[in-house]
Structure 1
Amino acid sequence: MQTALTRRRLIAGSFGLAAVASVPMPAWARGESLSHARQGFGEVSGERIALSVDSHHFAVGGRSGHAIAVNGTVPGPLVRLREGQKVRIDVTNNLAEDTSIHWHGLLLPFQFDGVPGVSFPGIKPGQTFTYEFPIRQSGTYWWHSHSGLQEQEGHYGPIIIESATPDPRYDRDFVVLLSEFTPVHPHEIARKLKVGEHYYNNQMQTATEGDMPLKDRLMWGAMRMNPRDISDVTGATYTFLINGHGPLDGLEYLFNPGERIRLRVINGSAMTFFNVRIPGVPMTVIAADGKDVEEFEVDEFQIGTAETYDVIVTPPAGSHALVAEAMDRSGMGVASITSHKGHRATPPPLREPVTLTMADMGMGSMEGGHGSHGGDGGHGGHAGMDHGADEATGAMDHASMDHSMRDTSKLPPDVKVGPGLDMVSPMPVDRMDFPGLGLDKVDHRVLRYTDLKAKRPNPHRMPTRQLEIHLTGNMERYMWSFDGKKFSAVTDDPIRFAFDERVRVKLVNDTMMAHPIHLHGHFFELVNGAGMMNQPLKHTVVVQPGGTATFDLTANEPGDWAFHCHLLYHMHAGMMQTVTVRPFPKAGEGA
């Protein structure tokens, strides 16, 4: 069923079911919905909102298992708020375990941020906790559990905060909430990753597959690294969802020809980066992480876990495939943007799997590129691959390469060297201009962080301090951390900021995986070359493999805040820290 809406009312899409396909299909495409709980989501709004967290059963495309539903749906309901209002949200826990809700990207008092052990004790079984805070912003956000691994089980949903000033640029408004479902219990997934980090990777290269030279294959083998190590959990167990619907559910976004459509794209997944495109239809990016940016037209963009992007499209009459392809290309979420009810667009086939390169080892400068717009974006090609090679034979000195990848002598003294750190990026470079794994070689326009510019100027303040944080891990042992220290080991040693301090933070990724790093309670400014007053505001930044990302932070939200990788199993395995902003301002001196 599809409801006709104006741009002031937002829609999640139709909830009709598709006919069961009679032909064999890959696991990722088995999207027929047979849910025991309602799929998709309703909407709640107003000054007082009630949310109920319950155990449910969920099924999609032959995959069936336990889920956590909020108000009876997976995903949970759209929470619609308005800028300037106050809200009280009563969350009742009907589970047999503690739960919580974190309001991702919202500015609020830290005691209502919803992180057990950091900002509040959590919600016990049978109890109701009331969140109460003013709405100080507008835009596209989302909510999710911060207890255990419940987010993987369906405990998440979208937030839309309507601006006090109407936006005339669009006629129709849709939520595009990207996520995934697996029937495997999340603790079992965590166990399998711990005992075999490639358990869900079905795209490992064979000895002869692809065009990688033999010397490169020997190099990767000598360093005990996998060039197809793109995603930890894949379409081998995941069905990729849009608004809770699998690829065959026939999810529709109906429009009238000539309408301008705002798509609010939210990556509410546990572990998946998505490449989003509507083949043949350009997209104009207007907001990132809920904050307005200067309009920029692209054909595709990568969205990291926990990021949001708002785009405007004006599709011609007909049906157009909205595709959210997993970064490792093991599957996709699919919907139709159509002017003909009941007519499905045909999605493109999955593209070839992505293969890592020297730049992803933190050797970008050896490839003759730093992730620039030119050429292959500093990601492809192998210029400089023979650095350290024997001049007579051109053979790679594997022992020297392996040593350089584990040389800890240049690490800051506060980085803990131990079993949790098995790789050090020898020559990390700023990769703000890199569009994301797999998008550096496409022949159409893709979004890069360097394309983002704040629509409204930021206050001009120079940083008074610099802080460098290393993203560290041991993939074989599935250990993840900041500065070599797991969260459980550093709870009494938080990252400390003085209230209203201006700090430049540099994140150095010493691993070969992309990490979406999220800071609670604040927006920071990406140092992306836009000029200090036009640096885009974000709450989550993707730090590319073997690269760096830098942001300026004004620590003006007092309290204790979580700071972590938003890949759920990385956070669970230790890549998390507490940020403390002290002292609290005196009355009348700050928010």
Structure 2
Amino acid sequence: MGGIYSGDMGRQEIHDQLTLSRRGLISGTAALAAAVSLPMPAWARGDLRHAAKGFDTLHGDDIRLTVCRSHFAAGGRAGHAVTINGTIPGPMLRLREGRTVRLHVTNELEEDTSIHWHGLLVPFQFDGVPGVSFPGIRPGETFTYEIPVRQAGTYWWHSHSGLQEQMGHYGPLIIDPAEPEDRSYDREYIILLSEFTPLHPHEVMRKLKISDGYFNYNRQTATAGKQPLAERIRWGRMRMDPRDISDVTGSTYSFLVNGHAPSDDLEFLFVPGERVRLRIINGSAMTFFNVRIPGVPLTVIQSDGQDVRDFEVDELQIGVAETYDLIVEPDAGAHTIVAEAMDRSGMAVASLTSATGERAAIPPLRDPVTLTMADMGMGSMDGANGGAMRPDARAEGPGIGHGSAPGAPMNRGATARHGMHHSMRDLSKLPPDANGTGVDMVAPMPVDRMDFPGLGLDAVSHRVLRYTDLVARHPRAVRAPERSLQIHLTGNMERYMWSFDGRKFSAVTEDPIRFGYDERVRVTLVNDTMMAHPIHLHGHFFELVNGVDAARQPLKHTLIVQPGSRASFDLTANEPGDWAFHCHLLYHMHAGMMQVVTVRPFPEAGNL
């Protein structure tokens, strides 16, 4: 293909390009374990330009972006980076609903790159996923994305090539509505949360392959910690770590707000009496953040760019790739914006202040989080950590999956509670073609945990957002699902293998998840692991089945599936094409937790 690609490509040409690119991607995925052991590439050595912190704002219908290599320093750590127009994060794109924008992306790296427009409804060939929807942008070339802007809200963009997202290849994207909003506020700020490590991402991946707990400095000792000794002994016998909350932690990460570490003293000014809109974006590679402003209530008005009924909380957990819009009315003075890593290994910090230079106290890190039996999928038998069976909880049963056979042997992770025996590796729950080597645990009794506020937030005394609090602001026509689909989130922690249904991406790329155009499907995700996974479907919004009236189910593009739980969403597959579907924890996705969703046939008119 030429140096500048456009939307005039024929469908057969697109198919041919993707076929070649998918084959290359399979080879690349299969070679990942070998690649991570290679020395740092030549481009990552030598003198580099220094990346600026923060971002400029680009407006209009014709925007140019340049991807290059840089050097970056934050929080006392310095290393190599990938930047767009020389900043981390990259520029904020401010678009308007109803317009068509052309985004020209020039690649000055010595490797392929890409940009995915996270949460945007776009023609599939402009979704920006190499090997799925386009071939990628080669070194020295320019690709032109042509996107009719069909929505408003808070979104973001990032690379979908290799591990570039970890190195700084991301930025905010705000779409103003075609008509004035009926919400009032006096000013707004974009708060993009992320992290930086001086380690090359291939080195991070290599260390995780060597030991999945390499970056975990919060392990319990024999005498320390609040968990009873008998409970710790039981976890030890199962060779599982109840402090295994995050794969990559503050031991190597500096946590950032708009590219700034806490020591940078980033501030956002306001005038007392103002209503301030905060557009919170989790643009990190691996970090869930717990967001609060001590002493200031947070009114949630949007989730993933979509309007929800106003709901007031004191804290919320934001998963990787999620966005939340908040309204705050702070009193005069200084207030600390705290984004604490879910594992409590560090925090991103900024100040919301009415006086330049005035600061509030930064709260200390809270105690590390400890998993319970509920996070192993034993929720119906263990009341701790938000896992007790509620009247509306849906445990896996007949018609949904298969329980352990009576008298099944106790495998790795087996446990007995209340006289009941359950295998923690009952592969009969998975599809017949599941790869057993890639699965070290199958949740025996996963329950719906939509009302769980997030790891570490179930025991706090203040108000915390739960998915069950999200209610669409405007009702929609109700359409019942025509069929149901169940997908298991699977992994092998010791080998750092991640997958759907026990099959990693390289094994399923030629066997996608298939939806008929405009088909209505209820998708249930069963998390058979002890980690929370933010699952993202490209090209669509889906409706959370969170217990509210069907006409008011909230729209989202990314869903946190809690450990040992199940979560459902209703999808209308009305965006034709091929779409990525994956865990948004970067190293999980690259270790195989990804599939392709294909929606066919194309409608008669307006195919592309």
Spell out, residue by residue over 1:533-565, the C-alpha distance to the aligned partner (whole angstroms, 9 max, x if none): 000000000000000110000000000000000
3-state DSSP class of the match of 1:513?
coil
- Provide the residue aligned with 1:563 in structure 2: 581
Flag the 1:92–1:397 CA change in 2: closer, same or farther, 3 A: closer
Match status 1:478 vs 2:496: yes
Spell out, residue by residue over 1:258-287, the C-alpha distance to the aligned partner (whole angstroms, 9 max, x if none): 000000000000000000000000000000
For residues 175-574 of structure 1, the aligned pairs below 5 Å read 175-368=190-383, 371=386, 400-401=414-415, 404-414=422-432, 416-574=434-592
Shift of 1:417: 3.9
Flag the 1:398–1:470 CA change in 2: closer, same or farther, 3 A: closer
Residue pair 1:41, 1:73 contacting (<8 A) in 2 also = yes
Kindly provide the amino acid, as one letter, of the partner of residue 267 in structure 1: N
Flag the 1:489–1:509 CA change in 2: closer, same or farther, 3 A: same
Count residues with an aligned counterpart.
539
Kindly provide the amino acid, as one letter, of the partner of residue 468 in structure 2: T
Shift of 1:163: 1.0
For residues 2-21 of structure 1, the aligned pairs below 5 Å read none
Spell out, residue by residue over 1:314-353, the C-alpha distance to the aligned partner (whole angstroms, 9 max, x if none): 0000000000000000000000000001222221110000
The 1-side partners of 2:352 and 2:426 are apart by: 51
Residue pair 1:93, 1:126 contacting (<8 A) in 2 also = yes
For normalisation by structure 1, the TM-score amounts to 0.89
Match status 1:126 vs 2:144: no
Shift of 1:248: 1.0
| Farther-moved stretch of structure 1 (454-463 vs 349-358) | 454-463
Match status 1:65 vs 2:83: no
Flag the 1:463–1:399 CA change in 2: closer, same or farther, 3 A: closer
The 1-side partners of 2:578 and 2:138 are apart by: 21
Shift of 1:399: 7.7
Shift of 1:93: 0.1
Residue pair 2:425, 2:440 contacting (<8 A) in 1 also = no
Residue pair 1:370, 1:430 contacting (<8 A) in 2 also = no
Kindly provide the amino acid, as one letter, of the partner of residue 539 in structure 2: G
Residue pair 2:107, 2:113 contacting (<8 A) in 1 also = yes
Spell out, residue by residue over 1:224-252, the C-alpha distance to the aligned partner (whole angstroms, 9 max, x if none): 10000000000000000000000011101
The 2-side partners of 1:289 and 1:535 are apart by: 13
Computed over aligned residues only, the root mean square deviation of the Cα atoms, in angstroms, reads: 2.1
Shift of 1:62: 2.2
Flag the 1:233–1:139 CA change in 2: closer, same or farther, 3 A: same
Residue pair 1:370, 1:429 contacting (<8 A) in 2 also = no
Spell out, residue by residue over 1:144-173, the C-alpha distance to the aligned partner (whole angstroms, 9 max, x if none): 000000000000000000012223421101
For normalisation by structure 2, the TM-score amounts to 0.86
Flag the 1:547–1:415 CA change in 2: closer, same or farther, 3 A: farther
| Farther-moved stretch of structure 1 (209-218 vs 535-544) | 209-218
3-state DSSP class of the match of 1:194?
helix
3-state DSSP class of the match of 2:462?
coil
Kindly provide the amino acid, as one letter, of the partner of residue 62 in structure 1: G
Spell out, residue by residue over 1:185-216, the C-alpha distance to the aligned partner (whole angstroms, 9 max, x if none): 00000000000111100000000112322221
- Provide the residue aligned with 1:74 in structure 2: 88
- Provide the residue aligned with 1:149 in structure 2: 163
Kindly provide the amino acid, as one letter, of the partner of residue 73 in structure 2: A
Residue pair 2:413, 2:424 contacting (<8 A) in 1 also = no
The 1-side partners of 2:78 and 2:229 are apart by: 43
Unpaired segments ≥5 residues, structure 1? 1-34, 379-395
The 1-side partners of 2:82 and 2:180 are apart by: 35
The 1-side partners of 2:227 and 2:120 are apart by: 45
Residue pair 1:414, 1:483 contacting (<8 A) in 2 also = no
Shift of 1:587: 1.2
Residue pair 1:370, 1:431 contacting (<8 A) in 2 also = no
Flag the 1:344–1:415 CA change in 2: closer, same or farther, 3 A: farther
Flag the 1:128–1:142 CA change in 2: closer, same or farther, 3 A: same
For residues 163-182 of structure 1, the aligned pairs below 5 Å read 163-167=177-181, 168-182=183-197
Shift of 1:219: 1.2
Shift of 1:453: 0.5
The 1-side partners of 2:494 and 2:354 are apart by: 49
Kindly provide the amino acid, as one letter, of the partner of residue 171 in structure 2: G
| Farther-moved stretch of structure 1 (547-556 vs 343-352) | 343-352
Kindly provide the amino acid, as one letter, of the partner of residue 332 in structure 2: A
- Provide the residue aligned with 2:28 in structure 1: none
Spell out, residue by residue over 1:45-89, the C-alpha distance to the aligned partner (whole angstroms, 9 max, x if none): 101000000000001132110001100101100000011110000
Kindly provide the amino acid, as one letter, of the partner of residue 141 in structure 2: Q
Kindly provide the amino acid, as one letter, of the partner of residue 478 in structure 2: H
Residue pair 1:83, 1:137 contacting (<8 A) in 2 also = yes
The 2-side partners of 1:133 and 1:398 are apart by: 50
Unpaired segments ≥5 residues, structure 2? 1-48, 394-409
Flag the 1:189–1:405 CA change in 2: closer, same or farther, 3 A: farther
Residue pair 2:374, 2:388 contacting (<8 A) in 1 also = no
The 2-side partners of 1:372 and 1:165 are apart by: 43
